[in-house]
């Protein structure tokens, strides 16, 4: 290369130095800008790590309740003879506790009437005159003047006695199954993200508490065994002839003085019964002999606690999808109520055999299971969002009984799916 060419190359190199220097400076600024954009994007997709949601949930089912051992109605309780003068009530009559009446005792409460004899009954007129208006049958220990039977068959069952019967039924396995309808509830949830799987997907943990109702009721009839227990009370006297039965005590006829009726039923004609039942009694059972009508109801609620891993997928700066699944534990409490009735042919209209009390029991159980949620969330701003999605859960079952009758209810919360929605706050 000659001297002239070398000088030209040197001149061109010196002229390009400012341009190269400017290019290097521009490249450094661009690198810093790109790094700043990357950091901004990283912060944008990372967002707050904590989130609290509050909302509603509606499940397609509140569970299934199987009502079984239905059709058991206990008999009225009757005191044994050893308890002496107490009220004894039956489905077809009664024998009540007897004692000296007010006209039969003195100021100190001592009986002045002749046991089993007659005593006068007086009344005082407005002018102070005391006149006799009747005559009563004196109290006699061991006998009752207050009793009732309804049919002639009660006298024919054992001559010389009044037969009084209590009825009951025993379950023959009657059962109903009732699936609850939709169950609405509320929920509160907390979630926290711990790491990133990719630029748009994070992982974390979700925990929450939900409250849902339990409600199931049914009614119907079941066939049961009809049981009867009959006691016998000795008649102390001769009963009037009533072809259809229906004897009672006390009874009276007009009290007449000198051909004038002083009182329409002042002359007592009561035939007393033994105060206590005879040692002999009769028991009978007829399979399928009773149709029991009933209503059965289970009401309550359960708190479900859930805990499991979660995935958060960020689609845009406003839309996010969250999926979570894991363990669920529920504390359930419910009240089981049962009411059953039956009828027996031959009893008077309006008579209700057996114990008609409503039976009730309470139960509290801890259940285990699983849950799964899938949620879509729309962010209104950096902190607040609205969400909606689907929920699924599976919980175990439990049982509760009515102590007096043994009726059983098995509450199976089972598998349920539904929708959920509400508001979330990030922090």
Instruction: Please report, for the chain, the start and end positions of each structural domain, with discontinuous segments joined by +.
Output: 47-83+169-232+288-426
Residue 21, pLDDT above cutoff 50: no
Tokens read off for 378: 């729309």
Better-scored residue on pLDDT, 42 or 178 = 178
Average pLDDT, the chain: 89
Beta bridge partners of 385: 379, 424
Q: What is the dihedral of CA 377, 379, 380, 382, to 10 degrees?
A: 150
Pairing of strands 93-95, 408-426: unpaired
197-225: per-residue pLDDT in tens? 998 999 999 999 999 999 999 999 999 99
- Which of 44-48, 74-78, 108-112, 178-182 comes out lowest in average pLDDT? 44-48
* pLDDT confidence tier of residue 31, bands split at 50, 70 and 90: low
Q: Minimal CA–CA distance to 97: which of 143, 154, 161? A: 143
* pLDDT(75) > 70: yes
User: Which residues on neighbouring strands pair with residue 416, listed in sequence order?
Assistant: 393
> What is the number of other CB atoms lying within 10 angstroms of the CB of residue 102?
6
Q: What value does the mean pLDDT take over residues 148-153?
A: 94
- pLDDT tens string 77-94: 999 999 999 999 999 999
pLDDT for the residue numbered 29:
62
Cβ atoms < 10 Å from Cβ of 370: 15
b/e for 114-142, b at 16 or more Cβ within 10 A?
eeeeebebeeeeeeeeeeeebebbbbbee
Tell whether the model's pLDDT for residue 18 goes beyond 80: no
Q: Looking at residue 404, what is its pLDDT? A: 86
Q: What is the separation of C-alpha 404 from the centre of its chain, rounded to a whole number of angstroms?
A: 15
Backbone angles phi, psi at 101, to 5 degrees: -80, 175
Q: What is the pLDDT of residue 342?
A: 94
């Amino acid at each position: 290369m000659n001297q002239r060419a070398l000088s030209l190359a040197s001149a061109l190199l010196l002229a390009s130095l400012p341009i190269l220097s400017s290019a290097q400076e521009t490249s450094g600024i661009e690198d810093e800008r790109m790094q700043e954009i990357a950091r901004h994007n990283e912060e944008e997709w990372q967002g707050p790590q904590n989130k609290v949601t509050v909302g509603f949930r509606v499940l397609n089912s509140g569970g299934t309740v199987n009502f079984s051992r239905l059709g058991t109605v206990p008999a009225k309780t009757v005191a044994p003879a050893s308890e002496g003068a107490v009220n004894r009530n039956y489905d077809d009559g009664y024998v009540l506790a007897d004692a000296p009446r007010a006209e039969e005792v003195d100021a100190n409460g001592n009986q002045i009437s002749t046991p089993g004899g007659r005593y006068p009954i007086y009344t005082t007129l407005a002018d102070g005159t005391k006149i006799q208006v009747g005559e009563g049958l004196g109290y006699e220990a061991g006998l009752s003047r207050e009793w009732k039977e309804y049919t002639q068959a009660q006298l024919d069952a054992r001559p010389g006695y009044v037969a009084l019967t209590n009825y009951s039924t025993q379950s023959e396995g009657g059962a109903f199954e009732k699936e609850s309808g939709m169950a609405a509830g509320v929920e509160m949830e907390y979630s926290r993200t711990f790491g990133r799987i990719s630029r748009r997907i994070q992982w974390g943990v979700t925990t929450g508490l939900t409250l849902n109702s339990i409600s199931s009721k049914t009614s119907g009839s079941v066939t049961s065994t009809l049981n009867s227990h009959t006691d016998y009370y000795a008649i102390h006297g001769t009963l009037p002839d009533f072809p259809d039965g229906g004897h009672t005590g006390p009874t009276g006829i007009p009290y007449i003085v000198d051909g004038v009726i002083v009182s329409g039923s002042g002359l007592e004609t009561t035939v007393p019964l033994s105060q206590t039942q005879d040692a002999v009694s009769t028991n009978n059972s007829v399979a399928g002999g009773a149709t029991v009508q009933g209503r059965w109801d289970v009401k309550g609620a359960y708190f479900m606690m859930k805990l499991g891993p979660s995935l958060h997928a960020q689609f845009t700066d406003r839309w996010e999808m969250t999926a979570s699944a894991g363990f669920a534990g529920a504390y359930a409490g419910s009240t089981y109520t049962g009411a059953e009735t039956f009828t027996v042919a031959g009893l008077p209209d309006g008579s209700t055999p057996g114990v008609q009390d409503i039976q009730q029991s309470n139960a509290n159980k801890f259940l285990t299971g699983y849950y799964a949620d899938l949620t879509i969330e729309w962010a209104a701003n950096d902190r607040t969002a609205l969400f909606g999605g689907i929920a699924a859960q599976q919980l175990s079952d439990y049982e509760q009984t009515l102590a007096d009758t043994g009726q059983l209810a098995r509450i199976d919360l089972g598998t349920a799916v539904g929708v959920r929605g509400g508001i979330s706050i990030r922090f």
